[in-house]
Amino acid sequence: MTKFIRRLQRIGSSILVSLPKEWIDVNNLDKGSEVEIETGHDSISISANKEVRPKKELVISYPLPKEENIVADITGAYLLGFGIIEINSKSIIPGKDREEIRKSMRRLVGMEIIEEDASHINMQFLLDATTLNPEKILKRMSSIAIGMYDDVSNGLISDDKSNLQSLSNRDVEVNRQYFLLVRLIRSTLVDKRLANVFNLENIDVLDYRVAANILENAGDSIVELSNLIYNTSLSKEHSKKIYNVVSDFNKLAEKSIDAFTKPDRLLAIEAISLHKQYEEKLILLRNTLDNKKQIPIDFLDIVYMFERIAQSWADVADLVQPIYNK
C-alpha cells in the first residue's frame, strides 16, 4: 500500500483534494469517472467504483481428500462469509455424509439447504448481514451463558440436579451465536460497507472477535462445571458455602458486557472492581476452612471452575480502552 500526502484546497464553498495520478492511471479513471467514498469516524476510503465485493460462492468437489472433513470445510466457508456453498459429486453422496451435513446446518445461523439431489447439495445464507447487529449477538451470547451459570450455581443447593444434564444443549446456542458473530466480523474486514453500517473501526472488530471467543469458552467451562457438580459427592454444607459466594454473579457479568458494548471505561472499572470482590470472597472461603488437608478435592475443583468462569467476563471488561489524559 502506497501512502500519499495531499493538502486540502478551497474552491468556492467546497474543500477539494487531488487524487494521485498513479492511482488514477492504474484504475483507468478519467474526468467524469465515478469513485466510491466510504467514511469512518476519523478516516475516509476512496475506491474505484467497480462494485467489487468479497466472493460469495464456493463449490466443494466431493469426495474430499482423506485429510479433509466435510463439516469442517462447510463451517470454515461459513465463517469466511460465503453466501452460497455448493457440494458437487460425480457419484451419489452417501447417506451418512448427508446427515453430517444436515447436522452442521443446525450449528450455522442463517445457512439453509435450498436445493438437493443425489449428487448435489446447495446451501445458502438467507440473512442480510446489514440487518444483523454485533452488539446484540454478543449480548445474546452473554445472556444465554449467564442463564446457564445461574442453573449451575443453583444446582449446588438443589436436590434435583437433572437440569444440569441439559446445559450442553443450551451451550449449542452459544456456539451458534458465536459462529454467526465470527462470520459477521470477518466480513467487516473485507467489506468496508459493513464496517460503516456497524460503525466499527478495525480495532473494534478485533475486540469483538476476542470477546466472542472469551464467551464461547465460558459456555464450555459452565458445561464442564455442571458435569462436575452433577457427579460430586460434596456435602450439602460445603456446597452451601460455595453457593453463598458465587450466586451473586449476574451484576458483575451484565456490567462487563454493558461496559464493552457502549463502550464505557467507568463501567468497566466498576465491573473489574466487582470481580476483585468476587475473587476475595472465594479466597476467604478457602481460608476459613479449619484443616486445609481435609478439604475435599471436589470443593477445590468447583471453586476453581467458578473463578475461571467469572474471569471470562472480567476479561471482556478489560477490553474496554483506558482513558488517557490528553
> DSSP per residue over 235-286, as a string?
-HHHHHHHHHHHS--HHHHHHHHHHHHTT-HHHHHHHHHHHHHHHHHHHHHH
Tell me the chain's radius of gyration from C-alpha atoms.
26
3-state secondary structure of 54: coil
Q: What is the pLDDT of residue 195?
A: 78
Q: What is the pLDDT of residue 69?
A: 87
Q: What is the pLDDT of residue 49?
A: 60
Other beta carbons within 10 Å of 281: 13
Fold (CATH) for 57-125? Translation Initiation Factor IF3 (3.30.110)
- How long, in residues, is the chain? 326
Q: What is the mean pLDDT of each run of 10 residues along the chain (326 residues)?
A: 77 76 80 72 72 69 85 92 92 89 90 92 90 94 97 94 91 96 88 80 89 97 96 91 94 96 94 96 82 78 95 96 64
Domain residue spans in the chain? 9-48, 57-125, 131-318
d(CA 243, CA 228): 15
**C-alpha distances in angstroms, 207 versus 138, 201, 247, 321?**
11, 10, 28, 10
**C-alpha distances in angstroms, 312 versus 57, 252, 253, 285?**
36, 11, 9, 21
Q: What is the pLDDT of residue 29?
A: 81
d(CA 203, CA 191): 15
8 Å CB contact between 306 and 225: yes
8 Å CB contact between 180 and 132: yes
8 Å CB contact between 124 and 84: yes
CATH superfamily of 131-318: Phosphate transport system protein phou homolog 2; domain 2 (1.20.58.220)
DSSP state of 33: -
